[in-house]
Amino acid sequence: MAELLVGTKKGLFRLEGDAGNGGFEVTARAFAGQSVEYAMRDPRSGRYLASVTSWFYGPKIWVTDDPAGEWQQAEGIALPEGEEQALERIWVIVPGEADGVLYAGGAPGPLFESRDGGVTWELNRPLWEHPTRSDWSPGAGGLCLHTIAPWPGDPQKLLVAISAVGVWLSDDGGETWRHSNTGIVPEYVPEDARDNPIQHCVHDVRRAPGRPERLFMQFHGGVYRSDDAGATWIDVGEGLPSDFGFPVVVDPADPDSAYVIPLIGAEDRTTPGGTVQVWETRDAGTSWTARGEGLPARDAYLTVLRESFDSHGEGEGLELYFGATSGEVFGSADAGESWTQVADHLPPVYSVRTA
């Protein structure tokens, strides 16, 4: 039995079922009518956390032990008073490595940290007050800190990514930060303007837990891999039908295995040729194979957003799930070999996370 938390334009949906047999059903709904950008379940505590942006009353994080029950508003999700900007939204919530620690990233580029399981939060000042901040530029989705990748077993090491700024690394638990975009080519700026080290529209980064120095990145134009903990990046997108896309997923059992969902470039952002396919590499990006059995093969122009692709388990039993802004959620129980539609007619899907 799998549990999916699906954040949508019209609330949070919990789906439960079996990807091998289809048959998922909605077992909880919360925040009806509000945008739920992201929801996850902390595997350590079992607690659910959701990022919700009310059209009227602004962004909040909510926590609960029962997604069908009462939710408690978390404290501290705000930018410092006395500044020009207000918090726009929270994009992502990720468990840290230390007990009770979680991180949340949002727009316009803040990183928050909680040390009590998500009930109270504090802004990471060193990144917020980084001397380069005045040079940070937003992508189409805003100036969003959307990726947080802790290092398994070492709470001092952290990678975050911000669009359209790039990758940031810390080796001291977030006390200091350095940008790390060497090797990434921002082809969307003129060739003679590519020296700027912080203009990189990173879309998503996932770390291979079994080899933490190995990372895969879906960039605005290109898929990249790092074998040195994000210090340098190499283009591994050759063979994909498009260099554009949003999410990337890795197989925890195999640091050479990753999955992306290419979309026709920035001007369109739909599945190429009306065919929905997940592309898989088993050799660290040297080659890519389309996995589409059971997915819509014609007249299907889907958009899959950054946080809408996730996995559960590993190896041959790796389960994969992704959702589309057209309201479908698809799942695979065999590492992408075959797929079934596990939900239809949901509101536009903003995020999918396995619990």
Q: Binders of other proteins among 50-79, rule CB under 8 A?
A: 55-58, 60, 73, 77-79
Residue with the two structure tokens 């290109």: 222
Sequence-distant (6+) residues with CB within 8 A of 215 are: 149, 159, 205, 206, 207, 208, 225, 226, 229, 230
CA angle (325 as vertex; 201, 163 as ends), nearest 5 = 15
Member of 1, 70, 81, 298 binding other proteins (CB under 8 A): 81
Asked if residue 1 binds other proteins (CB under 8 A), the reply is: no
Member of 82, 131, 153, 190 binding other proteins (CB under 8 A): 82
Query: Following DSSP, what letter does each residue of 264-292 receive, concatenated?
Result: STTTT-S-GGG---EEEESSTTS--EEE-
Q: Which is nearer to other proteins, 91 or 322 (CB)?
A: 91
Record the tokens describing residue 43, joined without a space: 């595997």
The binding track of 83-122 with respect to other proteins, each residue x by CB under 8 A or -, is xxxxx-----------------------------------
Member of 22, 33, 46, 80 binding other proteins (CB under 8 A): 80
Q: Which is nearer to other proteins, 114 or 311 (CB)?
A: 114
Sequence-distant (6+) residues with CB within 8 A of 343 are: 6, 13, 15, 24, 26, 323, 327, 328, 329
DSSP state of 348: P
**What does each C-alpha distance from 8 to 12, 15, 328, 329, 345 come to in angstroms?**
6, 13, 11, 11, 11
**d(Cα 146, Cα 298) in Å, to the nearest integer?**
31
Q: At closest approach, how far in Å is the CB of 347 from other proteins?
A: 15
Q: At closest approach, how far in Å is the CB of 52 from other proteins?
A: 12
Q: At closest approach, how far in Å is the CB of 129 from other proteins?
A: 16
Q: At closest approach, how far in Å is the CB of 33 from other proteins?
A: 11
Q: Which is nearer to other proteins, 54 or 287 (CB)?
A: 54
Q: At closest approach, how far in Å is the CB of 147 from other proteins?
A: 24
- Which residues in this chain contact other proteins in the complex, by CB under 8 A? 55-58, 60, 73, 77-87
